[in-house]
Chains A and B, each alone.
Chain A
């Protein structure tokens, strides 16, 4: 993977202040994310992680300060950015009356991406057979997450912004997610993950910034190398606490062996 060159930032925030009515979401954020970097945005609940991602996605405009995503203003230049940026938010943006496949198809086409990768993406996320024809209203929260993820996979944009991606997913889905992130970073995609489950995400990223009170208050390098996810990465940053991942069939015993290819986890 090409090392990030400082001059090409994927995301650049300078003293960003964002408001929702009278409530300050961000109170002056300074952040630079280089092309191809993977960054964890951590912090307690309500710190502003989600708002940070929404600002980068162009959903919230700044009251003051500057933001540039892939060199462009995310609010004004949304049309140009739409194919290149993907946001996985808390809500899945699904239409209850449409089936899974129709939802994915609409979302992918709306973002201007080709439809040829829809089926492989759905399969990858474990959405097959009858599930594809189920209306979205009948899905569980975890399944909705999977659908949203499959949209992301089908689009495969240059910049991924994931908001609490592990929330609501069962162990096998989490593993698939970790693989995906590993693949993406290996392939040069810039990944920004907001999560308060730092231990889960740390092995996947190269840097972690802490956000509290609407600002970036700390920064550190994490143990993960830029190599694809594997046992080496897991041991480098210490054993993953199992209570955080919440699944008995979870990480340590069934860590996927990856050598840069897609590993299929049963």
Chain B
């Protein structure tokens, strides 16, 4: 399983390195989202700084949807999905590999968005490690659920409209937890609050990664 994970993750990341979709399309989209939020919330900087955690995570969610869509569409060209099934790759390995690839792209995007939030909204971060850990855990959860739902809607012509609709409600806990942790980590927040929410993220991640490992194989058969 691990060998297949590395193989698939490597393949997806190599494709990304060649095509640079995440970097050239998704990242700018995230930045644009941040800018639009600023317009929506008005020029009051204090308001933007307070809202920064939530806005960051909403932007991350949008980027997740894009990244997952890309991860799925890579397999739909030239019957690659059939090829994957034929090859007999361990489905759990396939799931983990794609999750790792999406997570890697998300981490880069989050770093970019975090910098954007600090610069554009004037957010001040007091406890950096909390930020980093929350982003890491949140990323795992987002990537795992995204890959799962991507598989569920793979091959459907309506995937582009269906996937966001299916995925976003499911990842609402990540948004909640991430925002709370960031608020705790900002200037004026209580870090102790944040650590409680970390537990929620861990549970969420564990549940969906485990679910994916078990269930990804049967889902493939429905494509």
Contacts and interface: CB of A to CB of B under 8 A. Distances in A.
Interface in A78-111: 78-79, 81-83, 87, 89-98, 102, 106-107, 109-111
A188 interface: no
B86 A57 contact: yes
Contacts of A78: 85, 88
B16 to A, nearest CB: 8
A98 B79 contact: no
Interface stretch (B7-15, B99-107, B169-177, B200-208): B7-15
Given A91-B83, A96-B77, 7 more contacts: A75-B221, A93-B84, A106-B7, A107-B83, A109-B7, A110-B7, A110-B8
Interface residues of A, number: 30
A183 to B, nearest CB: 23
Contacts of B19: 97
Interface in A102-146: 102, 106-107, 109-112, 135, 144
A83 B74 CA distance: 24
B80 interface: yes
B79 A89 contact: yes
Contacts of A91: 78-79, 82-83
A78 B77 CA distance: 23
Nearest to B20: A97
Interface of A: 57-59, 61, 75, 78-79, 81-83, 87, 89-98, 102, 106-107, 109-112, 135, 144
A97 B18 contact: yes
A11 B30 CA distance: 53
Contacts of B31: none
Binding site of B, secondary structure by majority: helix, strand, loop or mixed?
helix
The 5 closest A-B pairs by CB, nearest first: A82-B88, A93-B83, A91-B79, A110-B87, A97-B18
B80 A94 contact: yes
In this complex, which of B19, B79, B88 has the most chain A Cβ atoms within 10 angstroms of its Cβ? B88
B78 A59 contact: no
A102 B83 contact: no
Interface in B1-48: 4, 7-8, 11, 14-15, 18-19
A87 B78 contact: no
Contacts of A110: 4, 7-8, 83-84, 87-89
Contacts of A81: 88
Nearest to B4: A110
B17 to A, nearest CB: 9
Contacts of B90: 79
9 contacts: A61-B221, A91-B78, A93-B83, A93-B86, A95-B11, A96-B77, A106-B11, A110-B83, A112-B87
Contact of B78 (A58, A94, A111): A94
A6 B133 CA distance: 63
Interface of B: 4, 7-8, 11, 14-15, 18-19, 74, 77-80, 82-90, 221
Contacts of B79: 89-93
Contact of A102 (B4, B8, B14, B82): B14
B8 to A, nearest CB: 8
Contact of A98 (B8, B18, B82, B221): B18
B117 to A, nearest CB: 31
A157 to B, nearest CB: 11
Contacts of A144: 78
Given A79-B90, A106-B11, A89 B82 contact: yes
Contacts of A109: 7
A227 B90 CA distance: 39
A107 B77 contact: no
A78 B7 CA distance: 19
A87 B85 CA distance: 11
Contact of A111 (B8, B82, B87, B221): B87
A92 B82 CA distance: 10
Nearest to B80: A93
B83 A97 contact: no
A82 B94 CA distance: 15
A125 B18 CA distance: 25
Contacts of B86: 57-59, 82, 87, 93, 111
A59 B82 CA distance: 7
